[in-house]
Amino acid sequence: QSVLTQPPSVSGAPGQRVTISCTGSRSNIGAGYDVNWYQQIPGKGPKVLIYASSNRPSGVPDRFSGSKSGTSASLAITGLQAEDEAHYYCQSFDTRVSESEVFGGGTRLTVL
C-alpha cells in the first residue's frame, strides 16, 4: 500500500477536464512537503509534469496544472488530448517511518 493514495483510474473525452487526486497525511503532504507529478507513457520512463506542487518545467503545456491543500494534492488536465493517455504518479516526502521520498500508486488516464 502506498503512503500516497491515488485513484487507480480516471477517464475523460477529448477536450474535457480531468483531475487526479493524491491523498496523503500529516507526515507528508500535510506537513508542508511539496508534491511532484510525473507522466509515464506505456513503455517509457517517467517525465516530470509538475514540481513543487504547482510549477511546470519548461516544455510542459499549460493544460497541466497542480495544486495542494491540507493533506491532499491534485493534478488537473484541461483540453484532454489522446496523447495524454498515460499513467500519472504523485510524489512527496514522508517522515513517519524514515525520511523517504514516496510515490503514489499511480493513476491510469484513459482518453475515451
Partner 1 sequence: QLQLQQSGPGLVKPSETLSLTCSVSGDSMISDVYWWGWIRQPPGKGLEWIGSFSSSGITYHNPSLKSRLAVSADTSENQFSLKVNSVTAADTAVYYCARHVYFPGYFDYWGQGALVTVSS
Integer distance in angstroms from the first to the last C-alpha of the chain?
Answer: 28
Strand (E) positions, the chain?
Answer: 9-12, 18-23, 36-40, 47-50, 64-69, 72-77, 86-94, 100-103, 107-111
Contact of 37 with 103, CB cutoff 8 Å: no
Least distance from partner 1 to the Cβ atom of residue 47, Å? 8
Residue 24 contacts partner 1 per CB under 8 A: no
Residue 57 contacts partner 1 per CB under 8 A: yes
Looking from the CA of 110 toward its CB, the CA atoms found within 13 Å total 6
> Between residues 77 and 88, which has the closer beta carbon with respect to partner 1?
88
Q: Which stretch binds partner 1 (CB under 8 A): 17-25, 61-69, 70-78, 104-112?
A: 104-112
Among 10, 21, 30, 47, binds partner 1 (CB under 8 A): 47
Q: Which residues bind partner 1 (CB under 8 A)?
A: 2, 33-34, 36, 38, 40, 45-48, 51-52, 57, 89, 91-93, 97-106
